[in-house]
Amino acid sequence: MKEILRIQHGLQNDFPEEALFDYNLELYEGDILYIQGNRGDGLRTLIKVLAGDIPLKSGTIYLWDKKTEDYSRNTAMQYRLCMITGETDMVMNMSVTDNLEAVHPVRSPLQLYISYLKQRQVQRYLDAYGVHISAGDAVFHLNRFEQMELSIIKAQMHGARLIGLDMTDNRYEGKEAEKIVSLIRKANEEGISFLIFSESYSMFSEIANRIQLLAEGREQKEWYRPGDDRERIRKRLRQDIYGKRMTSAGFRGDKENGLLGLYDDEWENREEIWEYLRAVKEYNPEIWKQYIDAELPGEKEQGTAVFVPMEAAKLLLSNLSLADNIILSVPERVCGSKYGIIKKSIKDNIVRGFYERFQIENSVNRVEELDLVHRKILAIYRWELAKPKVIFLENPYNGLMVDEKKIMADYLWELENKKIRVILLSGSIENLKETCGKILVTKNGKSAKITTI
């Protein structure tokens, strides 16, 4: 097999928290190489280097056996290396067709007719790959998953020979992951190689023919995957690189009293979470009563359950102070005023409690001054003040370093000890196995059963 990418002794330490030290990588034609490293192990810096956003300080990059000089975005484009990252490569107010055909602008009296033909051609292309997107839609109407599908299709149409997929922030699970896997396989059969980057176990590792573990800026271990089943891959990825660090974290607790996970790979619409939970409650009343026992919004005033999405930390209001963000969800019953205005003394106590409880320095006044784990905790803490009976959390550990995961785990157990039930939601049962003692498995909210890990 012909080598298409090689990094030798790569060093990039401009970002100490994500540095690369003496990093090495080889990729061959037809490879699907899955690279996993926890946040802080240099994976994000590696992605930036390959995208041409930052240069190596030392070391060499070879593309198709040719040594590159001053590797940049133009170098990647020249060799048809396409990096698909969290920053969209689409023009949001243009149609799907216009984005995919942007390299072939139409200048003709028959422009409208030619555009119509191109739209039909693009639609046939999308349909052939099982991508259920209308070629005439504006890109801003698409969700993040559909934009990822479209980016892969665009790379194929523009002749990419190597596609890099940044999965560090976008956690695709269940049906969404299966659809992306299908796209990757079809493109790979057409001769396109793939690099897939992830900060936690994902099903994309199961389609890779090679897996590399990245730890503390260096390649830790690498192996060929054929013959490994899912469970063995998962154990290797968890234990070989993180085993000692993860053991001390104590995420799961004991099997009898561990956190409860909720898993359903059939439910596709994350925006309709309450509809899904109502289905779980309706079709499984006894299990709901035993393990969840909460009223949903609309059943009893505002309900006794809240849902905190994975993106909650990004939804904090950066134009408000940390104190204002903390008190936004304080219910009227603790305001100390019938007009809903919080007394200054109560507000000060609430804010001081957050600072002292999580050892936040008094000089910190803005949300952006907090590290990621404390922004995530703040997004949950605001709802804790409302004293719910149950908090549903979507992938709260996503994007955290091992030490930060320990901080998050300690906080979630504090909530449990305060009699606030913590239930983790995920479209990946493997992720729930790391943190839960029991998992409630459903199919479209029906046929619930409890699995003890």
More confident residue, 436 or 448: 436
Same domain, 423 and 300: yes
Contact indicator for 355, 270 with CB cutoff of 8 Å: no
Q: Is residue 266 domain-shared with residue 224, that is, in the same domain?
A: no
Quote the percentage of the chain above a pLDDT of 90: 32
The pLDDT value given to residue 353: 86
Q: Are residues 358 and 380 in the same domain?
A: yes
Structure tokens at 387: 């004293």
**pLDDT for the residue numbered 333:** 44
Look up the domain containing 168 and give its range.
3-246
pLDDT tens digits, 225-236: 656 666 667 666
Q: Is residue 252 part of a domain?
A: no
Q: What is the pLDDT of residue 247?
A: 43
Residues 249-272, mean pLDDT to the nearest whole number: 67
- Predicted confidence at residue 109, as pLDDT, reads 47
Say yes or no: 107 and 131 in one domain.
Answer: yes
Mean pLDDT of the region 234-248: 54
Is the pLDDT reported for residue 249 higher than 50?
Answer: no
175 or 187: which leads in pLDDT: 187
Residue 122 pLDDT class (50, 70, 90 cuts):
confident
Mean pLDDT of 263-273: 74
Has residue 101 been placed in a domain? yes
**pLDDT of amino acid 404:** 86
Rg (CA), the chain: 24
- Between the ranges 48-57, 297-306, 362-371, where is the mean pLDDT highest? 48-57
46: confidence class by pLDDT, cuts 50, 70, 90: very high
pLDDT computed for residue 300 by the predictor: 67
User: Is the predicted pLDDT of residue 258 greater than 80, yes or no?
Assistant: no
Q: Comparing 4 with 362, which gets the higher pLDDT?
A: 4
Domain with 108 in it: what CATH number? 3.40.50.300
Residue 317: CB atoms within 10 Å: 10
Alpha helices in 129-268 (DSSP H): 144-157, 174-189, 230-235, 241-247
Residue where a domain stops, chosen among 246, 271, 299: 246
47 and 72 share one domain: yes
Same structural domain for residues 189 and 272?
Answer: no
pLDDT at 226 (0 to 100) = 59
Looking from the CA of 278 toward its CB, the CA atoms found within 13 Å total 9
Indicate whether 64 pLDDT > 70: yes
Predicted confidence at residue 221, as pLDDT, reads 83
Is 54 among the domain residues? yes
Residue 132 included in any domain: yes
Please tell me what DSSP assigns to residue 329. Answer: T
Q: pLDDT grade, residue 296 (50/70/90)?
A: confident
Would the pLDDT of 298 be above 70?
Answer: yes
pLDDT for residue 254 is more than 80: no
Q: Are residues 225 and 274 in the same domain?
A: no
Has residue 344 been placed in a domain?
yes
Q: How many domains does the chain have?
A: 2
Q: How confident is the model at residue 91 (pLDDT cuts 50, 70, 90)?
A: confident
Of the listed ranges 28-37, 313-322, 354-363, the one predicted with least confidence: 313-322
Mean pLDDT of 266-279: 79
Higher-confidence residue of 304 and 427: namely 304
* Statement: the pTM of the whole predicted model exceeds 0.85: no
Give yes or no: residues 184 and 276 share one domain: no
- Indicate whether 105 pLDDT > 60: no
Q: What is the mean pLDDT of the chain?
A: 82
Q: Are strands 3-12 and 20-28 parallel, antiparallel or unpaired?
A: antiparallel
First to last CA, the chain: 42
The answer to whether the CB of 140 falls within 8 A of the CB of 90 is: no
Q: How far is CA 320 from CA 325, 327, 349, 380, in A?
A: 6, 11, 18, 17
Q: Answer whether residue 185 shows pLDDT above 90.
A: yes
